[in-house]
Amino acid sequence: MGSNLLILIYLLASITFIIGLKMLSHPARARRGNLIAAAGMTAAIAGTIFLYKDENGNALHNYAWIFGGLLIGGTIGTIAARKVKMTAMPEMVSMFNGMGGACAALISVVEFGHLMHGLQSAPGLTVIDAAFQSGLRQHLLIIVAGLVIGSISFAGSMVAWAKLNGKIKDFVFKGQHLFNIALLLIILFMSVYLIGWLPAGGVSLFYIILGLSLIYGVFFVMPIGGADMPVVISLLNSFTGVAAACAGFLYDNIAMLTGGILVGAAGTLLTILMCKAMNRSLLNVLIGSFGAGNKSTGGIKEHGNYKEISLSDAAMIMNYAHKIIIVPGYGLAVAQAQHSCHELEKVLEAKGVEVTYAIHPVAGRMPGHMNVLLAEADVSYDKLQEMEQANEAFPATDVALVLGANDVVNPAAKTDPSSPIYGMPILDVELARAVIVNKRSMKPGYAGIENDLFFRPKTSMLFGDAKKVLQDLIGELKAL
């Protein structure tokens, strides 16, 4: 009765995961979808604790440990998730993703220990029959797969977290890609050797594979920087999904399998969609690293002078405009200027100016980062335009106000084949009658590339912290 009930619970949980993801695709129903998936997850966890029985019909024990772990993890998780600032959301997701990966890797470590323990106590180790051996190999294959994928995901997510946090910088050395590929091949080779030949030193080999996977995770994410970070987080997200599915295979657990594969497939598709938005292949993102290594390409070119604009002039231009498109970027998020931005929008609209926002798919540090940020400030949905829409609207626009965005408006992506972002679709702010760019300084953006846009005749620079500049602009506009 108990285990049949558990099967039903797992079935329902799997359905809630699918429905939850489905509902997340509708703004109005998204929140309910998330809650439904959470309810399914809660039921699955509770069901596992109280109803799970192993092959011999034994229930689980160590309840104190289980509830202790749930309590500690739940408390820390809730507090961390409640306290995190909107700007730090991407890091947080990356961090939680890493926790999931580590969890999957730990499960593999413990299960491997069980397996080895079982082998040692089995009599006549050398004359194991073929059926037993093939069963063992299958078991080991899943354990090792979970270990490798889980630990790569953990190490990679931690690096992504630290990078977004600004704790570590891009780090590239010559031949790093070859080194990475070699490392991955060594891991694969060792895994095949371990599973196929079951060598005597299997236990230490297992831990070497664990160590190498962690190192690979670090080196995998290290050279990838700037505009590509969202893609990496999404990819690691799907890795963890696959690692969870491996654990599901291990325990013949349908809920884990469906949940894991669902996220693995969805995450992979999301990754590909994001690559498409940048007009690049996934391989190109992973191999052709942005940042430090490519810095030399932009610097050689001679730039003209840039033009600075005063606050009052900027306010004047905007006051007499008919249509303004705001292009938000990471700078807006850093300055926490989303509320000021919304206020500016309201002030302008009160003066009869039409204001919309142009959202580049990879603006910020995560897909949809800008949408979340602006939603926090109560900016209405229908004011957010996607790239294609916005590019059609720019020619009829008086002012394009670029707030802390850089790479997504860099014309080099269209004109300069030597640029590392060549081929990425950009927002054609230049088509507008005037471009006002707010930045803190002339320093290049996260991808480390000079931006020609700032030196074009139509462009005027408005230096300063986005929040302060916007508030001053609002002040000026109200005085006019």
Partner 1 sequence: MEAILSFISQHQQMIYIVILMIFVGIEVIGHVPAVLHTPLMSGANAIHGVVIIGAIIVMGQAPKDNYPALVLGFLAVILGTLNVVGGFVVTDRMLEMFGGKRKSPKEEIRNSK
Distance, CA of 176 to chain centre: 23
Q: What SS3 state is found at 1?
A: coil
- Binding mask 161-200 toward partner 1 (x if CB under 8 A, else -) reads ----------------------------------------
Shortest approach of partner 1 to residue 86 CB, angstroms? Answer: 8
Shortest approach of partner 1 to residue 132 CB, angstroms? Answer: 13
- Of 68-87, binders to partner 1 (CB under 8 A) are 68-70, 72-74, 76-78, 80-82, 84
Q: How far is it, in rounded angstroms, from Cα 305 to Cα 307?
A: 7
One residue of 217, 226, 241, 298 binding partner 1 per CB under 8 A? 241
Shortest approach of partner 1 to residue 206 CB, angstroms? Answer: 14
Polymer length in residues for the chain: 480
One residue of 190, 212, 222, 379 binding partner 1 per CB under 8 A? 379
Q: At 421, give phi and psi (nearest 5°).
A: -100, 15
Catalytic residue ranges:
407
Contact between 20 and partner 1 by CB under 8 A: the answer reads: yes
**What angle, rounded to 10 degrees, do the helices at 202-221 and 130-164 form?**
30
The answer to whether 409 touches 373, Cβ cutoff 8 Å, is no
Shortest approach of partner 1 to residue 155 CB, angstroms? Answer: 14
- Of 122-161, binders to partner 1 (CB under 8 A) are 134, 137-138
One residue of 87, 191, 213, 234 binding partner 1 per CB under 8 A? 234
Shortest approach of partner 1 to residue 340 CB, angstroms? Answer: 16
Burial 418-436 (b: 16+ CB within 10 A, else e): ebbbbebbbbbbbbbbbbb
- Side-by-side strand order, sheet with 399-403: 384-386, 354-359, 323-328, 399-403, 434-439, 459-463
User: For partner 1, which stretch binds (CB under 8 A), given 102-110, 201-209, 418-426, 435-443?
Assistant: 102-110
Q: In this structure, what token pair is assigned to residue 66?
A: 């289980």
- Of 317-376, binders to partner 1 (CB under 8 A) are 346, 359, 361, 366-369, 371-372, 375-376
The answer to whether 245 touches 256, Cβ cutoff 8 Å, is yes
DSSP class of 294 = G
Contact between 7 and partner 1 by CB under 8 A: the answer reads: no
One residue of 5, 8, 110, 181 binding partner 1 per CB under 8 A? 110
The answer to whether 358 touches 364, Cβ cutoff 8 Å, is no
User: For partner 1, which stretch binds (CB under 8 A), given 20-28, 198-206, 292-300, 311-319?
Assistant: 20-28
User: For partner 1, which stretch binds (CB under 8 A), given 94-102, 176-184, 212-220, 314-322?
Assistant: 94-102
Q: How far is it, in rounded angstroms, from Cα 184 to Cα 189?
A: 9
Contact between 249 and partner 1 by CB under 8 A: the answer reads: yes
One residue of 203, 386, 392, 475 binding partner 1 per CB under 8 A? 386
- Of 282-311, binders to partner 1 (CB under 8 A) are none
Amino acid at 207: Y
Burial 257-275 (b: 16+ CB within 10 A, else e): bbbbbbbbebbbebbeebb
- Of 252-281, binders to partner 1 (CB under 8 A) are 252-267, 269-270, 274
Rg of the chain on CA atoms, in Å: 26
- Closer of 21 and 311 to partner 1 (Cβ): 21
